[in-house]
Structure 1
């Protein structure tokens, strides 16, 4: 979702919170930046028959951020096994390829997604929600998240070697990353991502994995 649209949504949420007198607890993670209300003009509705008033910057600074939603929880719960499978894929690289670029790519994916798994687990712990939801799954059983490998696809990757492995790894990892981007779109489409912490994380996943997809496509084209 474009940033400008996200600011408008946040502004509307801020207006409703102030007009209704609703107090919402700040639930952002410890390493996440503090919530910054939107800088656009926000009008607080007045009583029946009374005009509204434009809120000042000081008023807006007192507006608590939106809470996390069920959509945020399902996104995080599903993204953890999604990332975990990416780590299983990168673990296969050693001994199956002599391509230094692929080896470096796998190391970068491994490092970034391990760190993100830690962040997601902390997000769940801080909000006292289960680490696994009804949508979580991995190859072999359960409902697979978008882009995840089936057991048969994983076995095929495990058995490949050399150039065959390189092409298959890149093809399947591109699909895997595209699945993560689909999960980000689903998050926003179902009303999630208003909470600052979940919004920031989703944006990072979208940006980082989009960049990696383009790099992997280039690598795949170079393999011929």
Structure 2
């Protein structure tokens, strides 16, 4: 009986491998040139309170990177004044209350508002939008200029208060101030702004951050008036 060498079997298998590979590749390769190419849907984020929308292929193809608008510039210029008044309010805290929670809250707010003012200033400078001052002074206390701003009388009342009276006024007026900032974000989108990526990110951050702080201050106010 003839015994077949294991080397002969291996040689035969290696010789057949290219053919097997070619068959396998042929089986995995689409036939014809009309095979559709896979596409991913492009979803356009809706403004706050509105649903997202899936763009058609033609809309997606024509979609560029939106540039900032005059609405965006007006929003940023107003917001820098708005933030400045919040910082002035927190500056009153140390000399008027010993409430630890109020002091910690004011400290966190001062840091975050200063950081956001720096972001706004950078945004304006990069787009060559003129900035008049830092938003401080009498004009920053004009209640009619934008939502939530304290009037001169309200600010003077806060400035004159101390102790528990100051704590309650600070929380009440800062809630008012924060709610105004959220309203400004809503107005930005309602007026067609916020399409530029950087503006949109900043506005959504303001809305989220101040919304969280509003809830916290409402809780603190309830604890002190309950």
Contact 2:71 2:188 in 1 (8 A): yes
Say whether the 8 Å CA contact 1:69–1:192 is kept in structure 2. yes
Counterpart Cα distance in 2 of 1:188 and 1:4: 11
TM superposition score normalised by structure 2: 0.72
Q: Which residue of 2 aligns with 1:44?
A: 58
Corresponding position of 1:159? 160
Higher deviation after alignment, 149-158 or 83-92? 149-158
Q: CA deviation at 1:177?
A: 0.2
* Over 4 Å off, 4+ runs: none
Q: C-alpha distance in 2, partners of 1:118/1:64?
A: 28
Aligned partner of residue 93 in structure 1, secondary structure: coil
Q: Which is further off, 145-154 or 184-193? A: 145-154
For residues 45-64 of structure 1, the aligned pairs below 5 Å read 64=64
Bigger Rg, structure 1 or 2: 2
Tell me how many residue pairs correspond in the alignment.
175
| CA deviation map 1:20-63 (0-9, x unaligned) | xxxxxxxxxxxxxxxxxxxx453227xxxxxxxxx6xxx68xx5
Report the Cα distance in structure 1 between the residues aligned to 2:73 and 2:85, rounded to whole angstroms.
19
Structure 1 unmatched ranges of 5 or more: 9-39, 46-54
Match of 1:30?
none
Q: For residues 42 and 152 of structure 1, what CA distance do their matches in structure 2 show?
A: 53
Q: Which runs of 5+ in 2 are unaligned?
A: 1-46
> Shift of residue 145 of structure 1?
1.7
Please give the alpha-carbon distance, in whole angstroms, between the structure 1 residues aligned to 2:182 and 2:221. 20
Q: Could you say if the C-alpha distance between residues 165 and 88 of structure 1 is closer, same or farther in structure 2, counting changes exceeding 3 Å?
A: same
Is the 1:78–1:132 Cα contact (8 Å) retained in structure 2? no
Cα RMSD of the aligned pairs, angstroms, is: 2.3
Q: Aligned equivalents of 1:198 and 1:148: distance in 2?
A: 22
Which whole-Å CA distance do the structure 1 matches of 2:147 and 2:101 have between them? 26
**TM-score, length-normalised on structure 1?**
0.72
